Amino acid sequence: MAATLIDGRAVARSLKEELSVRASEMIARGVMPHLAVVLVGENPASQVYVRNKENACVKAGIRSTVIRLAEDCAQQELEDVVASLNADGGVHGILVQLPLPGHLDEARVLRMIDPNKDVDGFHAMNSGRLMNGQPGFVPCTPLGVMKLLEAYDIPVRGKHAVVIGRSNIVGKPMAMLLLAADATVTICHSRTQNLAEITRQADILVAAVGRADFVTGDMVKPGAVVIDVGINRVEGKLVGDVDFESVSAVAGYLTPVPGGVGQMTIAMLLANTLDAAGGRGE
Ligand code: GUN
């Protein structure tokens, strides 16, 4: 039997409707929620992501400002921009689009962002809060995955969740969120031995590897929930980390690419921005 497809677009749409109501209530109380996005250079994928974020803000009634810096911008110039956004009381959320050009010190820039404006949840203060079970900003993509599981009433407690990928943006926070929801969590990565043996034990399998069609049907337990976080461009077409054809024949649930997790990431960014404007994390 073919897997049930998880419709991230539909879940994100209804979340965004709720968020735009929240935004208008905030505006009526005299607070204009405001996200500032810093984009350095000309990376084509980053430009698309930033445009999508801008459009989503406008649609939800959230103010968005994009600060564009040249590809060869100096570290100091970027840090000055972040410092001025930190100091600007009219800016609630700050997002520095990654990856930055190679000559810039990404970790240093992320550390500079005020943790209370860190709507990406990449600051060590917020990853520490997540690890300790304290409220803070949670990275948008893994947060979106949890909301999708919730929206489809997929139980997490006591289940074996396997996350493939250990990035700070997805893999590690994803594992922490699943753990906080009482899953038994295994993190796999590029050095994991006998990967398929482990993934076949997963009730919930999250693929965040960044390699097209990496997870195949033989790596999946029949009936498992498979979440595809990958966005890979192959011959101009967007494909995930999961080989849709073979996995959809085995899995119980599957997120398609596009139309799965991607839409949720932006919805969570809007939610985090409204939280920031409402004083979350202070
Ligand atoms: N680049 C790819 N995904 C992301 C993200 O979620 N946030 C930022 N800042 N950059 C990214």
pTM for the predicted model, two decimal places = 0.96
Q: Annotated active-site positions, please? A: 53, 97, 120
User: How far is residue 266's CA from residue 59's CA, in Å, rounded to a whole number?
Assistant: 12
pLDDT at 166 over 80: yes
User: How far is residue 228's CA from residue 186's CA, in Å, rounded to a whole number?
Assistant: 16
C-alpha of residue 44 to centroid of ligand 1, in Å: 13
pLDDT of residue 281: 40
pLDDT tens for each residue of 98-150? 999 999 999 999 999 999 999 999 999 999 999 999 999 999 999 999 999 99
Atom nearest to 140 CA in ligand 1: 6
Question: pLDDT grade, residue 42 (50/70/90)?
Answer: very high
* Residue spans of alpha helices (H) in the chain: 8-28, 44-60, 75-87, 106-112, 124-132, 140-151, 171-180, 195-199, 244-248, 261-277
The residue whose CB lies within 8 Å of the most ligand 1 atoms, and thus the one to mutate among 97, 119, 127, 268, is: 97
Kindly list the protein residues whose Cβ atom lies closer than 6 A to any atom of ligand 1. Answer: 95-98, 120, 140-141, 169
